[in-house]
Amino acid sequence: MEQSSHTEPILKLEKVSYQYRNQYTAVDAVKDVSTEFCEGKMYAIIGKSGSGKSTLLSLMAGLALPSEGQVIYRGTATDSVDLDKYRRENVAVVYQSFNLFPLMTCLENVCFPLELLGMNPKEAAITAKEFIEHVNLPDSVYKRFPNMISGGEKQRVGIARALASGAKVILADEPTGNLDIANGEKIVQLLRDLAHKDNYTVIIVTHDMSITQVVDEVMRMSDGYLLPLVTEGWE
Ligand SMILES: Nc1ncnc2c1ncn2[C@@H]1O[C@H](COP(=O)(O)OP(=O)(O)OP(=O)(O)O)[C@@H](O)[C@H]1O
Ligand SMILES: [Mg+2]
């Protein structure tokens, strides 16, 4: 049987620019960015505050379309797909502030994307439990609400929910920003395992320079541009 090759990137940016504008002014937040991301790899995007990292992530997440250029997922540009479906099924975002649904239990949080995919509640609960186990959380979190678990546990629930959506691309904006060093390291290790063992593509935007030591590739944004990494003079 022919082996499928993974040389084609799962996500590709071609000359992507993005401008925020209102009637008074315009901000060029992302400028002419071209790059690609492959399956099974973990990437870090670093750069100063305001350099365009979150904006770039939101373009990859399908939360906005580029002003110019294209974000291409498995060969198809996000400007020619059903963007709601793309956001629901193809990419998942993990946030610094976790963004769990506060009025749902942890189990319900993870069931949510599964039910959106059409699973009945019973099936969804069974599958959600598998994802919760996969991120190394105990059964005891199922019935707790997000305010009844620790920050590290919340982030794991956030990741379990991301996986439950079926997305193979995980976009994480400062996923360790609200965690202490030890918990941050554990979350990074989990994300790394998801890339290296389960073939996810993990893209982490971060100020945490220790993350750059454990990823496969580091990219740096500066004033909207994505630059080749120069190891001197990082901030
Ligand atoms: N909603 C918005 N409307 C207008 N300008 C914005 C908006 N969001 C961000 N910007 C501007 O776009 C540029 C890039 O912002 P972005 O949030 O992408 O930076 P960042 O690298 O994620 O910064 P940080 O590290 O502080 O999170 C900045 O100049 C910022 O002021
Ligand atoms: Mg940001």
As residues whose CB is below 5 A from the ion ligand 2, the structure lists 54
For ligand 1, is residue 147 a contact (CB within 6 Å)? no
Kindly tell me if the per-residue pLDDT of 63 is higher than 90. yes
Residue whose CB lies within 8 A of the most ligand 1 atoms, among 17, 19, 20, 96, for a mutation test: 20
Mean pLDDT over the full length of the chain: 93
Q: Where are the beta strands (DSSP E) in 118-209?
A: 169-173, 201-205
Backbone torsions φ then ψ of 184, nearest 5 degrees: -60, -45
Q: Give the separation between CA 200 and CA 214, rounded to whole angstroms.
A: 16
> What length does the chain have?
235
Residue whose Cα lies nearest atom 6 of ligand 1: it is 20
Q: Residue 113, by phi and psi: left (phi above 0), alpha (psi -120 to 50) or beta?
A: alpha
pTM of the predicted protein model: 0.92
Indicate the burial class of 129 (C-beta count within 10 angstroms; 0-12, 13-18, 19 or more): middle
Q: What is the pLDDT of residue 230?
A: 62
Structural domains of the chain, with CATH: 39-62+82-220 (3.40.50.300)
Q: Give the separation between CA 78 and CA 146, rounded to whole angstroms.
A: 32
For ligand 1, is residue 146 a contact (CB within 6 Å)? no
- pLDDT (tens digit per residue) in 110-121: 999 999 999 999
